[in-house]
Structure 1
Amino acid sequence: MSILLYIKERRYFLLLYVLIMFFVSSMIYLSDGLSGTKMNLLYINIVSIIFIISYLIIGFFYHKRFYEELENALQLENDTVSAIPNPHTYEQGLYTEILKKLYTEQLEKMYILHEEKKEYHDYIMSWIHEVKIPIAASQLLMRSGKSADILMGKLEDELGKIDHFVDQALYYSRLDSFSKDYFIQAISLETVTGASMKKYAKMFIAKRLQFERTNLQLLVESDPKWLSFIVDQIVANSLKYTDDYGQIKFIGEEDNNEKRFIIQDNGIGIKAEDIGRVFERGFTGFNGRINTKSTGLGLYLAKRLSYKLGHDISIESKENEYTKVILHFPKNKQYHTVAKT
């Protein structure tokens, strides 16, 4: 910082000084009764100039180091904020606090972005691994020499798995742009359930599962496309963990506070120590690792999307007896604001 720039920053103080001295000089000059008026006037101006020059010089050296340290901090490539010198004035202190606060907020945002990028990278790697399995199985089937009817049925199963993984990847990639792609409306649980059962009809038939539907004429406020995806993830899990000749129930309930959609199966259930973590990304649990090949993404996506839609999702289970997944639709929720949550 140069002396000229420092003086320029004090221009209003200098202007004030000029005005004050003009006033004082005028009063003294116009006072006829005073002797030696001109000498007094000269004395006052000379002394005042000495004072103001001294003030500027002292102030310059007082602030010079602060400005030099600021300039040096600007030259740093890393950790610039920590190099900001201690403030000399209250105003400087406020600006320093603002800068540090903004820096902290930016670091937090960068950390979140880093974690999201890492999460997305991990998901893509997991997805590639999972989708290669049905592709490899399809290639083996085509080389197996089985009859056309059997081959087509098996290939259809593998294509269904690929379609399921592609759907997961598509909805996962659109989580952050959710607010631009939703439309809340009244939708019947019968409609959502029917679409999911139709999608997985072959698995229902192959495993000879019984299904029970109760009070599905209930209307809920949601986005049909996103809600259907959530239900598909839950139904896919039920089919995966329910043995042949098992049972899956679809139940609609309502009370004064909320509407509920329950999907319950009598499959292998979930261990008590795993129940609190089933909605974590990538968590498969004991049964997911031992009994089936699970990606641990279905319930994670269902939870994320339920939250974005203004719903909630919970789970109850007892190992080797049942699993009950409950979608909650609060009645007091302002669904026109869900995209902001």
Structure 2
Amino acid sequence: MSIKQYFKDKTSLIIFYLILMGFISFSVKLYETNNVNLYNLIYMNFFTLVLFIIYLLMNYVENQRYYKELKKLLEDEDEDMVFSLPTPNNYEQKLYIELIKNLYEMQRLKLNALYDDKKENEEFITSWVHEIKNPIAVSRLIMQNSEGKYITDILDSLEDELDKIDGYVEQSLYYSRSDSFSSDYLINDLEINKLVRVAVKKQAKTFINKQIRVEITGERSTVSSDGKWLSFIIDQILTNSLKYTGNGGIIKINMVNDDGQKKLSIEDNGTGIKEEDISRVFNKGFTGINGRDRYKSTGMGLYLAKTLAKKLGHDISIESIYGKYTKVIISFPKLNAYYRFN
């Protein structure tokens, strides 16, 4: 900072000093109770002016060091310059430094969140590509080894693989649209039993191929939700159950009304979930031991189901004993509770 710039910044203080000294001089001269002559007034003004100039120069020297350090930081363009900010000379500078540090911390947290999202998205895309390549490769093998086979068997096998591809594409679409959920949903009264039967019918071939029985019990119930998003949630849970249920297993689907709160449970007697993994199964990208070692899962199905259910005002919980069973429960709030919180 140049001396000229400094005095320009202090213009208001200099004007105040001149007005103040002019007022004092005028007052003293107007009420001459003591023997104060013109020379005394000139001496008083000169002396105070010298003191004022000394003060300004000392303040300039003190702030010059501070501004030099700031300018040096700007020229160095150090990424961590916020940690090298000079020691403040006054309370105002201290507040500015604290403000800069707070803004830096907020920006750092936002960048870290963006970086984590980018990393998770990359991991999802990588895993998704590997998953979708499997049914494509199988489809090619089916066509290459089609000689001597019935066309109906070939088409049936190809349809199975196309269904898998369709499921992966649908999952990626819902994943990409989950952030814009608020502009793409419509709450209606839905008969949950119909949605369940549509989801089961959609997975009929998997039930048949793995010889998995399905039991649908409970009373017919109506819930307030978005049909498209709720169907996707049920489908993800059911797909997960089928994936981890062995041949000859059973999946039980039950709808109950617990004191006005409706609950849909989907229970399988598959591999189950280890106790230490239960609290993490709804985390983005979490696959667990089963997903990593046996199925190479993306770990997005239950995460999307939980995220979308929460936005719809529903809740999803999970119970499991490793090696015995897994039960996923969708809880629909009472209507008065739903309208109170939404």
TM over 0.5: yes
TM-superposed CA distance for 1:2, in Å, is 1.4
Q: Which moved more, 1:240-249 or 1:151-160?
A: 240-249
The residue type paired with residue 131 of structure 2 is E
TM-superposed CA distance for 1:287, in Å, is 3.9
Over 3 Å counting, the alpha-carbon distance change for 1:274 and 1:22 in structure 2 is: closer
* Counterpart among 202, 207, 214 of residue 217 in structure 2: 214
The residue type paired with residue 59 of structure 1 is N
TM-superposed CA distance for 1:227, in Å, is 1.6
> How many correspondences in the alignment?
338
TM-superposed CA distance for 1:247, in Å, is 2.7
User: In 1, distance between residues paired with 2:338 and 2:5?
Assistant: 57
User: In 1, distance between residues paired with 2:328 and 2:75?
Assistant: 57
Over 3 Å counting, the alpha-carbon distance change for 1:158 and 1:186 in structure 2 is: same
**Pairwise mapping of residues 1-341 of structure 1 onto structure 2 (< 5 A)?**
1-31=1-31, 34-35=34-35, 37-77=37-77, 78-144=79-145, 145=147, 146-215=149-218, 217-256=220-259, 258-289=261-292, 292=295, 294-331=297-334, 333-334=337-338
C-alpha RMSD of matched pairs (Å): 2.4
Q: Which moved more, 1:288-297 or 1:140-149?
A: 288-297
User: In 1, distance between residues paired with 2:270 and 2:90?
Assistant: 70
User: In 1, distance between residues paired with 2:75 and 2:218?
Assistant: 69
Aligned-partner SS, 2:179: coil
User: In 2, distance between residues paired with 1:297 and 1:68?
Assistant: 53
Aligned-partner SS, 2:89: coil
The residue type paired with residue 135 of structure 2 is P
Structure 1: segments with no counterpart, 5+ residues: none
Aligned-partner SS, 1:211: strand
Over 3 Å counting, the alpha-carbon distance change for 1:41 and 1:280 in structure 2 is: closer
TM-superposed CA distance for 1:333, in Å, is 4.7
TM-superposed CA distance for 1:45, in Å, is 1.5
Q: Is the 8 A contact 2:190 2:225 kept in 1?
A: yes
Over 3 Å counting, the alpha-carbon distance change for 1:49 and 1:268 in structure 2 is: closer
User: In 2, distance between residues paired with 1:74 and 1:47?
Assistant: 40
User: In 2, distance between residues paired with 1:52 and 1:25?
Assistant: 16
Q: What are the Cα deviations for residues 15-73 of structure 1, in whole angstroms up to 9, with x where unaligned?
A: 22122111112123223555452112211221121111111111111111111111222
User: In 2, distance between residues paired with 1:235 and 1:216?
Assistant: 19
Q: Is the 8 A contact 1:230 1:306 kept in 2?
A: yes
User: In 2, distance between residues paired with 1:297 and 1:36?
Assistant: 90
Q: Which moved more, 1:61-70 or 1:185-194?
A: 185-194
Structure 2: segments with no counterpart, 5+ residues: none
Q: Is the 8 A contact 1:28 1:37 kept in 2?
A: no
Q: Is the 8 A contact 1:184 1:335 kept in 2?
A: no
TM-superposed CA distance for 1:89, in Å, is 0.7
Over 3 Å counting, the alpha-carbon distance change for 1:24 and 1:154 in structure 2 is: same
User: In 2, distance between residues paired with 1:311 and 1:46?
Assistant: 80
User: In 2, distance between residues paired with 1:63 and 1:321?
Assistant: 73
* TM-score of the aligned structures, taking structure 1 as reference length: 0.89
